[in-house]
């Protein structure tokens, strides 16, 4: 498991494009038939993909976690962005269709990921944070994710926000997780942008066409940079950074947060006119 070390806002302005990508972008986690994870020192998050094809993939503890199993001291959210599949937790199977999410609480030793069909395999995006309390396993269907319409076509940001793991949904210790879908003809997400020092955020862009790209904007409002993202790319956003993006066509992304405050509305606005 590769360990990613974050840069602070003092080092950040002097970073080259390659240094920015090496530090904040995780773009090689998805590989069919494998389960791959990275450890990010920011809020001690673990992020990756499980992409089972021929046989199930078991969630095992990397030696760097210093744990006997992955969720010994952690909680985990799993979003299926592929075909139908099933996640087995301590012998109980949970069937997940496209855009369903399974929350797996601390203390579940045996976790495996499977696909229903090799020709249309499931693809599980995984996000994990340390947990100091135990919450039960919870399956959230996409229809149950409190879809909320925001933005407009006039501002190129008409989008649907779906909340899965949050204070009014599936409960967790600190993990907050959801998905945003851009409407056809809209390109901007999280605009106007914001920061939130009480928690970090991780974006995973998906449903990005092979020829399309998303320009992810980051940094303090007065010192912004961009990172060019492709399908299933993951970008880490520290609390001091904005997180917004614009695509060459419509796309979706999963947002996940960990930190001391689970209040979805806890954010510090960064008006567009303040951006530099």
The CATH number linked to 180 is 2.60.120.10
- Residue 260 corresponds to which tokens in the numbers above? 């001391």
- Residue 219's domain comprises 2-274
pTM equals 0.96
d(CA 237, CA 150): 22
Summarize pLDDT for 198-218 with one digit per residue, the tens. Answer: 999 999 999 999 999 999 999
- Average pLDDT for the chain: 95
Summarize pLDDT for 21-35 with one digit per residue, the tens. Answer: 999 999 999 999 999
Say which range, 11-20, 181-190, 260-269, has the weakest mean pLDDT: 260-269
HSE-up (13 A, CA, CB side) for residue 27: 14
Q: Which residues contact 39 (CB under 8 A, 6 or more apart)?
A: 1, 2, 3, 4, 45, 46, 62, 64, 65
Summarize pLDDT for 235-274 with one digit per residue, the tens. Answer: 999 999 999 999 999 999 999 999 888 888 888 999 999 9
CB atoms within 10 A of CB 31: 10
Comparing 172 with 60, the larger pLDDT belongs to 172
Summarize pLDDT for 80-135 with one digit per residue, the tens. Answer: 999 999 999 999 999 999 999 999 999 999 999 999 999 999 999 999 999 999 99
HSE-up (13 A, CA, CB side) for residue 105: 12
Number of structural domains in the chain? 1
């Amino acid at each position: 498991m590769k360990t990613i070390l974050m840069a602070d806002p003092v080092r950040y302005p002097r970073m080259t494009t390659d240094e920015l990508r090496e530090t904040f972008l995780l773009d090689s986690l998805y590989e069919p038939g494998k389960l791959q994870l990275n450890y990010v020192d920011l809020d001690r998050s673990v992020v990756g993909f499980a992409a089972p094809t021929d046989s199930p993939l078991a969630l095992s503890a990397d030696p760097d976690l210093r744990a006997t199993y992955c969720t010994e001291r952690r909680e985990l959210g799993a979003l299926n962005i592929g075909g139908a599949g099933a996640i087995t937790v301590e012998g109980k199977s949970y069937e997940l269709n496209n855009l369903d999410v399974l929350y797996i609480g601390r203390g579940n030793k045996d976790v495996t990921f499977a696909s229903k069909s090799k020709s249309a395999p499931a693809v599980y995006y995984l996000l994990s944070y340390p947990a100091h309390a135990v919450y039960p396993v919870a399956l959230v269907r996409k229809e149950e994710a409190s879809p909320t319409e925001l933005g407009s076509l006039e501002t190129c940001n008409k989008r649907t926000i779906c909340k899965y793991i949050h204070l009014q949904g599936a409960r967790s210790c600190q993990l907050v997780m959801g998905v945003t879908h851009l409407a056809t003809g809209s390109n901007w997400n999280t605009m106007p942008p914001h920061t939130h020092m009480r928690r970090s955020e991780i974006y995973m862009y998906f449903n990005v066409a092979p020829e399309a790209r998303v320009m992810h904007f980051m940094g303090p409002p007065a010192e912004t940079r961009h990172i060019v993202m492709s399908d299933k790319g993951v970008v880490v956003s520290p609390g001091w950074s904005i997180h917004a993006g614009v695509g060459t066509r419509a796309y979706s992304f999963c947002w996940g947060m960990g930190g001391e405050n689970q209040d979805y509305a806890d954010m510090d606005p960064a008006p567009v006119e303040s951006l530099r």
